[in-house]
Structure 1
Amino acid sequence: MAEPLEEVNFLADSAHRSVILAALHEGPYSRAELGTITGASSATLSRILRAFERREWIVRTDHRYELTPIGTFVAIGFDDLLHRMEIEWQLRGIWGRIPTELLEFDLEWVMDATVTPSSRDDPLAPMDRAAEIERDAARSRILTHALPDPCLSAHRHGTTTGTHRLEAVVTQDVVRTVAGTPHASWVGSVLPCDQLEMFVTDADVPHVIGINDDTVYFGVDDEKGAPLALIETSDETVFTWAEWTFETYRREAVALTPEMFSRLYEADDSDDQSSLSSKLVVKK
């Protein structure tokens, strides 16, 4: 088994080797073109090309190098390994916060996933990516315990211009928060229209799930609710799970009407702390 592992190490031990292999998988290149792509010195490039030729991964025709069938086989396999390790690296440390149901599926769904992590330089990157997805979607269905301003702004723009339809199942805290922002008038004005449907749930919503056209995203938060990452995918199994989860919550939720929204949040301060769920039951 040592020899195959040594070949993996041969490719992994040099960024130039893997870049050349990936480039040739796209099509034939001349030596000069490969030098431009990699930035490798002439001597380094010569060593790599000779090593690839000895392994019969490449052939040279009319001063251009191209992969052989076995070279293509290696390129595809190594690219798959790199992609898997990139995904694993991005998700390292947050696996335990991904919805349990998704971890029970065949984890091949992560091969299609795009991960937007938070960072010290950009702690709100997951939130901004969610807003970007929603801004471009014709139809959004979201199940959430939080609606941050970037996402509200994206939905507000889309629904008021008529390019976007939003169906949202939210917690009581979300309605309270929205009512205290400049977006409150938008919610009240758009609720009577076909562009927005909002449902309020008393149930715990542990994960933010968004279904935007044919793409699903879900948020991964830390123990304090701060965003750690946004994971998006078009995998059919995950999409089916997301639709089922959204519909399950929506069936048990209370539809929010403009009248309810107005009565609930134009009340005096002494009424603010009363139960939203009881108000919805009485007013609906």
Structure 2
Amino acid sequence: MSAIDTIELLARSEHRVRILDLLCENGTLEKHVLGDRIDASRTTIGRNLDALEEQGWVSRTNGTCTITRQGELVAEAFADLVSEVELTDKLRSFMRWVPDDTLDLDLSLLAESKITLAQPGDPYAMINKQVQLIKETEWYRVVLPFTGLHATEAANEQIVGNGAEGELVVEPDIAELYCSAQEYADLWGEMEATGRLELFAYDGTLPYSLGVFDDTVQIVVAEDDEPRALLETTNETVREWALEQYRRYKRHADGFSVS
């Protein structure tokens, strides 16, 4: 059998996977114990044990089933494969909008992340989630290729009204908007006046919105400045990565003022 055939032999039967998992956990089990823990007939269990034994993954002696070292390796590798596929499925709706080669991060670190998408009945789900986090944040660092008045109002409320502190790195057209559009200029001007806000213009294109809000990281990916997916995580390694990304963009940005 080829490697693909061998994988298929295991993947097409949840009972075989379950048997290997149970034997991995316990090393050795009586056949009747397997029957008690698996929702299948004795005939089905016996037939699947035959297949596993034929592959050298399980050995049987007088009704006792023992996993072999080869079986342990296969079970561990298969579990890793399942985890990778599950992670890929989870991240698909987010990663499809990430520009190629711009997310230099071990994706396994995002296994516990939460993804929010615009929904037919809730088109502002991402915006609402981001605004809510801003309203709860005391310290933030954000890289911003697009903007919105609702989030700006929330930032103003936190910095002016609640003593929060922040820094933003934005694209040049966003910097121009903040300075020229009165509704933005008034809000950012008030924030600047507190001494707790710094603004920087990055001379280039930013691939996505990346923000560190206290202990939480948010990444918002967009298409033509239209947000498509928001990913949120509290993974500390991802937070360290996000802060380094922020510092990298800031090093290539110039400070500016809206006043």
The aligned amino acid for 1:74 is V
Contact 2:144-2:210 at 8 Å conserved across structures: no
From 117, 140, 147, give the equivalent of 1:167: 140
Evaluate the alpha carbon distance shift between residue 210 and residue 44 of structure 1 in structure 2; reply closer, same or farther with a 3 A threshold: farther
Counterpart position of 1:221: 222
Deviations 1:214-249 (A, max 9, x none): 88653333446233352759696x766533320134
Give identity over the alignment, percent.
Answer: 23
For 2:153 and 2:232, how far apart are their aligned partners in 1?
Answer: 29
Q: Tell me, what secondary structure is at the counterpart of 1:219?
A: strand
For 2:63 and 2:232, how far apart are their aligned partners in 1?
Answer: 44
Unaligned runs of 5+ in 2: 167-194
TM-score normalized by structure 2? 0.62
How many residue pairs match? The answer is 225
Counterpart position of 1:70: 70
Evaluate the alpha carbon distance shift between residue 235 and residue 24 of structure 1 in structure 2; reply closer, same or farther with a 3 A threshold: farther
Contact 1:169-1:201 at 8 Å conserved across structures: no
1:189 equivalenced with 2:161 (yes/no):
yes
Evaluate the alpha carbon distance shift between residue 69 and residue 123 of structure 1 in structure 2; reply closer, same or farther with a 3 A threshold: farther
Evaluate the alpha carbon distance shift between residue 79 and residue 170 of structure 1 in structure 2; reply closer, same or farther with a 3 A threshold: closer
Q: Tell me, what secondary structure is at the counterpart of 1:169?
A: strand
Aligned-CA RMSD value: 4.4
For 2:37 and 2:122, how far apart are their aligned partners in 1?
Answer: 33
Evaluate the alpha carbon distance shift between residue 228 and residue 170 of structure 1 in structure 2; reply closer, same or farther with a 3 A threshold: closer
For 2:61 and 2:144, how far apart are their aligned partners in 1?
Answer: 64
Counterpart position of 2:25: 26
The aligned amino acid for 2:89 is W
Deviations 1:35-81 (A, max 9, x none): 46542333222211232233332245896644221111111121222
Contact 1:209-1:219 at 8 Å conserved across structures: yes
For 1:81 and 1:125, how far apart are their aligned partners in 2?
Answer: 35
Q: CA deviation at 1:188?
A: 0.9
1:11 equivalenced with 2:10 (yes/no):
yes
Deviations 1:75-105 (A, max 9, x none): 11212222233333344476553244446x5
Q: CA deviation at 1:201?
A: 4.0
Contact 1:126-1:230 at 8 Å conserved across structures: no
For 2:148 and 2:101, how far apart are their aligned partners in 1?
Answer: 27
For 1:26 and 1:187, how far apart are their aligned partners in 2?
Answer: 52
Contact 1:112-1:235 at 8 Å conserved across structures: no
Q: After TM superposition, list the pairs within 5 Å mapping 1:62-101 onto structure 2.
A: 65-92=65-92, 95=95, 97-101=97-101
Q: After TM superposition, list the pairs within 5 Å mapping 1:140-179 onto structure 2.
A: 148-157=127-136, 159=138, 166-169=139-142, 171=144, 174=147, 176-179=149-152
For 1:93 and 1:173, how far apart are their aligned partners in 2?
Answer: 20
Contact 1:171-1:202 at 8 Å conserved across structures: no
Counterpart position of 1:208: 209
1:110 equivalenced with 2:111 (yes/no):
no
The aligned amino acid for 2:162 is V
Counterpart position of 2:53: 53
Deviations 1:182-202 (A, max 9, x none): x743331233679x9544344
For 1:17 and 1:187, how far apart are their aligned partners in 2?
Answer: 57
Contact 1:211-1:243 at 8 Å conserved across structures: yes
Contact 1:169-1:250 at 8 Å conserved across structures: no
Contact 1:59-1:67 at 8 Å conserved across structures: yes
Evaluate the alpha carbon distance shift between residue 234 and residue 41 of structure 1 in structure 2; reply closer, same or farther with a 3 A threshold: same
Evaluate the alpha carbon distance shift between residue 10 and residue 206 of structure 1 in structure 2; reply closer, same or farther with a 3 A threshold: same
